[in-house]
Amino acid sequence: MSLSAVRHYLTSLGVATTNPLAFAVVGIYGISWWLFGQLDLHGIATLATWFMTLVIQRAEHRDTQAIHAKLDELLHATANARNSLTRVDDAEPEEIETARKQMRQDD
């Protein structure tokens, strides 16, 4: 598996954790622990940590999406803006950094 494929997979996994179904997965995992008698204080703490991680990830993703929507609107409203920048959020983080460095050099 190439490094590019791993990066893409990790980005996709991060986006998937913002889906409400991720909460169901943690819930099913917790129920299975409970049914098999393995749910102790350590397990409860682990499930609480996973749950809070998903809550934080979802809030961060929502905020990021809102910021991107606002920036896209500003780019579309500005006559001299490069519309190609509205699609940069679809790229991998390393590609975005490369694009930012290129934009800084162009200025």
Cβ–Cβ under 8 Å, residues 17 and 54: yes
The predicted pLDDT at position 107 comes to: 60
pLDDT along the chain (107 residues), means of 10: 83 85 93 91 93 92 86 80 71 78 75
Distances (CA, A) of 94 to 63, 89, 91, 100, 102: 21, 11, 8, 10, 12
The predicted pLDDT at position 48 comes to: 95
Taking residue 85's Cβ as centre, other Cβ atoms within 10 Å add up to: 13
Cβ–Cβ under 8 Å, residues 96 and 71: no
The predicted pLDDT at position 99 comes to: 77
pTM over 0.75: no
The predicted pLDDT at position 41 comes to: 93
